[in-house]
Structure 1
Amino acid sequence: MATNQDVRNQLANRVNQPPQQPQSPEQTIAGYLKRMGPEIEKALPSHMNADRMARIALTTIRTTPKLLECNVSSLLGAVMQAAQLGLEPGLIGHCYIIPYGREAQFIIGYKGMIDLARRSGNIESIYAHCVYEADEFNYELGLHPKLHHKPATGRRGEMKYVYAVAHFKDGGYQFEVMDKEEIEKRRSRSKASKNGPWVTDYEEMAKKTVIRHMWKYLPISIEIQQQASQDEVIRKDVISEPVSVYSDAIDINVSSAESIPADDQNSEDQQADFADNGTLFDGQ
């Protein structure tokens, strides 16, 4: 039976214990990625693994700190979309995760669209190029379509056109040409028109825009078509209920020096977001 002295000793020990430091948003995301590891592993193709995807996702978040202000459900949804498509977010340009207000938006990059097209098995090669003022360029449509492009040497001037070409394994081909004005029209319909890759990698996004327009003419399976339809969407259905990560050891490398602490209001907002199943909706 505990004596009064025992009770006093226990209370004294609790008072003397240092208070637990609240997790930073980055550590919280790392904890969720750890818990999602088995599901990410199932979604990934054989040449990728969940640990690598988690580290790439954390690197992307560190290089875009505003992602830490996004709903955790949408951020994890974007990571899962990348995993399901077998595309790595970040520097190689397969796909991007960018903040749109407090939502994390998934965007397929130029190289990601190329990769998805090649998976169809019916395409020998697919590529896109930008045409500049000083280049020699002309094309014809009709019964015998032709396209000729000879890049200028030295200063090439401003970008005028972008074209994409796909060669099929049966010997056929398809090409599409867009001028910069048309590309800008399509850019203006994107929620990510003023940030993310449209700002940092304009030419890559211009190439992707032309390939995306050509998509419906390519011999691509329904499955690949559906995968490409995830471009520029926000997914929030990964977390179905609040999950505590405080009791789990996080073995993903997270630098406390890079962490951005959340204030009380953001913490309350995130807790509310965790409980929201969310929806899947298309970007414009």
Structure 2
Amino acid sequence: MATNDDLKNQLQNQQPQQVSASSLGFKALMNTPTMKKKFEDILHEKSDSFMGSLMTLVSGDDYLSKAEPMTIIAGAMKAATMDLPIDKNLGYAYIVPFNRSEKVGDRWIKHNEAQFILGYKGYIQLAQRSGQYKSLNALEIYEGQLTSWNPLTEEFIFSYENKTSDEVIGYVGYFELLNGFKKTVYWTKNEIEAHRIKNNKAKDKTSLSGAWRDNYNAMAIKTVLRSLLSKWGILSVEMQTAITSDERVFKQAEDGSVIEELSINDESIKDAEIIEETEEQSEQGEA
């Protein structure tokens, strides 16, 4: 697998000799002609604004700024190929810091990398671009709103006005294609929790971490939408890429032109988790 040093050496060879490879951190890599051209090839006239938003994102996140630079850039390029903004306030796509331990020989090496996460708005955006959807939506169901749900016939009856509390009991997703095909899925809160715990990479599987901790409902809605669209929706090339790329760590090949997927489910990987420590905990760990 290509390493960061491989790409740094390649980029250094294209730079004036006074620039050393060791000095090529994230900001320096972003300023190389090679990297600028890669984003220009993908985004054309949008490249400058996208690269600017990426620089702002990294500079404003202490943990992300410490991640391996090429995993940040590779994740951002994945978002760029889908033409999705990475501003976390918009909710389309995210680049988040991620801890991973990899077995190299007889030793476990810890990496601080960046993970690409697609937001539920990203899934909606990609579905809309296909031009095949008449309607598409997903939302929370609160206590008192659900009247009945038949998983076999998909008959879903609820009353929005009958909300009796702020307790969310489930999440529903629905779409109708232009050809008349309709699909409804409903996940109970318990089903969402079982899915979250099963896929939680933290040591404590039941703990809320990362995006699940910060915006539980948005992640639950995304889970429903991803299941709905991947099983029953129109799988355009963009949507297939989105589904297979979501919540992955990416590297780049030696020539810098091919993005390689690094599966966090690989047997050589353990203790993978979104970075959660506070500044106080970090200082204690360094003491």
TM-score, L = length of structure 1: 0.70
Deviation at 1:202, TM superposition (A): 1.4
Instruction: Verify: 1:110 aligned to 2:109, yes or no.
Output: no
Mapped partners of 1:209, 1:95: distance in 2: 14
Residue 280 in structure 1 maps to residue 279 in structure 2? no
Q: Which residue of 2 aligns with 1:162?
A: 171
Which whole-Å CA distance do the structure 2 matches of 1:172 and 1:227 have between them?
A: 22
Match status 1:123 vs 2:133? yes
In the other structure, the counterpart of 1:59 is: 56
Partner of 1:234: 249
Q: Is the 8 A contact 1:127 1:165 kept in 2?
A: yes
Secondary structure, counterpart of 2:27 in structure 1: helix
Three-state SS of the structure 2 residue aligned to 1:171 is: coil
- Match runs of 1:172-251 below 5 Å: 172-188=181-197, 189-191=199-201, 194-215=208-229, 216-237=231-252, 240=255
Gaps of 5+ in 1: 1-21, 242-276
Report the CA distance between 1:221 and its aligned residue. Answer: 2.6
Q: What is the SS of the residue equivalent to 2:75?
A: helix
Instruction: Show the 5 A alignment for 1:243-282.
Output: 279-282=260-263
Q: Could you tell me the percent identity over the aligned residues?
A: 26
Is this contact kept in 2: 1:76–1:238, CA < 8 A?
A: no
Aligned equivalent of 2:271: none
Matched residues, number: 224
* Residue pair 1:130, 1:162 contacting (<8 A) in 2 also: yes
CA–CA separation in structure 2 for the residues paired with 1:28 and 1:190: 34
Contact 1:163 1:178 in 2 (8 A): yes
Range moving further from structure 2, 63-72 or 202-211: 63-72
Q: CA deviation at 1:207?
A: 0.4
Render the CA deviation track for 1:126-160: whole Å, top value 9, x for unaligned: 110101113244222445x3222323478632211
What residue number does 1:77 align with?
74
Indicate if the aligned counterparts of 1:137 and 1:149 stay in contact, CA closer than 8 A. yes
Once the two structures are superposed, residues 91-148 of structure 1 have per-residue CA deviations (whole angstroms, 9 ceiling, x without a partner) of 11001111111010000001001111122221112110101113244222445x3222
Q: Measured at CA, do residues 152 and 23 of structure 1 come closer, stay the same or move farther in structure 2, by a change above 3 Å?
A: farther
Shift of 1:278: 8.5
1:227 maps to amino acid: A
Counterpart Cα distance in 2 of 1:208 and 1:132? 17
Structure with the largest fraction of strand: 2
The CA deviation at 1:187 is: 1.8
Aligned residues of 1:232 and 1:282 also touching (Cα < 8 A): no
Q: CA deviation at 1:23?
A: 6.8
Structure 1 160/233 Cα, relative in aligned 2: closer, same or farther at 3 Å?
A: same
What is the distance in 2 between the residues matched to 1:137 and 1:281?
44
Structure 1 consecutive aligned stretches of length 4 or more whose deviation exceeds 6 Å: none
- In the TM superposition, what is the alpha-carbon distance from 1:195 to its structure 2 partner? 3.7
**Stretch of structure 1 that moved more, 23-32 or 151-160:** 23-32
Say if 1:93 and 1:112, in contact at 8 Å, map to a contact too: yes
Over residues 48-72 of structure 1, what are the superposed CA-to-partner deviations in whole Å (9 max), with x where a residue is unaligned?
6111111111222233220111111
Q: Give the aligned residue type for 2:245.
A: Q
Worse-superposed segment, 71-80 or 152-161: 152-161
Aligned amino acid, residue 91 of structure 1? N
Q: Is the partner of 2:63 in helix, strand or coil?
A: helix
**Shift in Å at residue 283 of structure 1?**
4.4
Check conservation: 1:163, 1:177, Cα contact below 8 A: yes
Deviation of 1:170 (Å):
1.2
1:274 aligned partner: none
Q: Which runs of 5+ in 2 are unaligned?
A: 1-21, 100-111, 266-287
Contact 1:230–1:282 (CA<8 Å) still a contact in 2?
A: no
Cα distance in 1 for residues equivalent to 2:148 and 2:40:
47
Distance 1:98 1:169, change over 3 A: same
Does the Cα contact within 8 Å between 1:128 and 1:207 map onto a contact in 2? yes
Shift of residue 42, structure 1, vs aligned partner: 2.1
Aligned to 1:31: 31
Distance in 1 between residues matched to 2:34 and 2:139, nearest whole Å: 42
Quick check: 1:77–1:238 contact (8 Å CA) kept in 2? no
Q: C-alpha separation between the residues in 2 aligned to 1:154 and 1:178?
A: 18
Residue pair 2:27, 2:55 contacting (<8 A) in 1 also: no
